[in-house]
Amino acid sequence: MSAHAFPPPVESAAQEPFPHSATASRAVDPASPPLVVGLGEAMVLFQPADGRSLAECGIASVHVAGAELNLLAAVRRAGVRAAFCSRVGADPFGERVLAAAAELGVETQLVVVDERYPTGLFAKDVREDGVRRVHYYRAGSAASQMGEDDAGRALSGGPSLVAVSGITAALGDGPRRAVVRLAELARERGVALAMDPNLRPGLPPVANVLRKLLPLTRFLVLGLDEAQPLFGTDAPDEVFRRAGEAGVGEVVLKAGADGCWYDTPSGPRHLASAAVRVVDPVGAGDAFAGAYLAARLRGIGPRGAARLGTAFAAGVVAAPGDTDGLPAEQEAGRLVDAAQQMSS
């Protein structure tokens, strides 16, 4: 097993912990730009490109996707440094993952190339009724071999914030230990932890594991459908109350087409969705989370951060790929400026 030959991470000054309140924020310090590190798996995706099913198609398009990489792509597009911590196989698919991450502006020096295990793959089928079915081939993948050592590596570059999800915790005992250890180390070192539960019906249940991490979580970005398994309710006021009682610093509740709820001193406030056209909803939640977290690191308050998140998500649902709909750099800058004005 060998580390991918990329330049070593830039060391940044030690970050002070985020204040533990819903309205606290911090502006970007040009002398010590914030860095977000995401721990997870990215895979190569195959999907029909000729309108037919996987069983019948003659042409398939090839993409790279993964919840944490999608999130990091949005973080970077919103003007904050982002680095991916993972493992890929020493194979062409691993090379493709690294190239795709680099093209998105996501740093890859924390990715290990594992010569013993392959890069994970998955295929997406779109049925005649519009329902999407995904087939995963990730058992025994390089990323499924992650463990506590990977947690230490994720913190080696001095990040301001680390992002984890339930998908990674569900990949196996090693990845679950990596997520838990990263949360513990982040708290010890004063690094903010962001958690997106990303509970998936097709993966082993991890709600109990994530529930134990709530006291260590600075930012909880969850979907409305994930609130019931974690908190026993999906009523926004109650979700925010129970999350606060569990020790979560700040909550944002994603509700898809119904927009989101964000934290205010007087309780959760609703914000409508900005989507006007829906082609493929996959990746929208990740884009929202990445934009929201980047905005908070840039000193933008929860309201402006939620507005930026909805704008990024609206672009992603209007395009077929997980990250294809992210705003171009100039447009992203305009959206960030608008979100900043909402906080001034």
The residues annotated with a catalytic role in the active site are: 286
Backbone angles phi, psi at 172, to 5 degrees: 155, 180
Sheet holding 132-137, edge to edge: 60-65, 43-48, 121-126, 132-137
Q: What token pair was written down for 6?
A: 């990329």
Q: What angle do CA 261, 37, 247 make, to 5 degrees?
A: 45
The two beta strands, 2-3 and 81-89, are unpaired
Q: Residue 167: which of 143, 184, 148 has the closest Cα? A: 143
CB 242 within 8 A of CB 1: no
User: What is the C-alpha separation between 303 and 132, in angstroms, rounded?
Assistant: 33
Distances (CA, A) of 146 to 72, 260, 274: 19, 33, 37
User: What is the C-alpha separation between 88 and 110, in angstroms, rounded?
Assistant: 11
The two beta strands, 81-89 and 35-39, are parallel
Q: What token pair was written down for 52?
A: 């037919």
3-state secondary structure of 111: strand
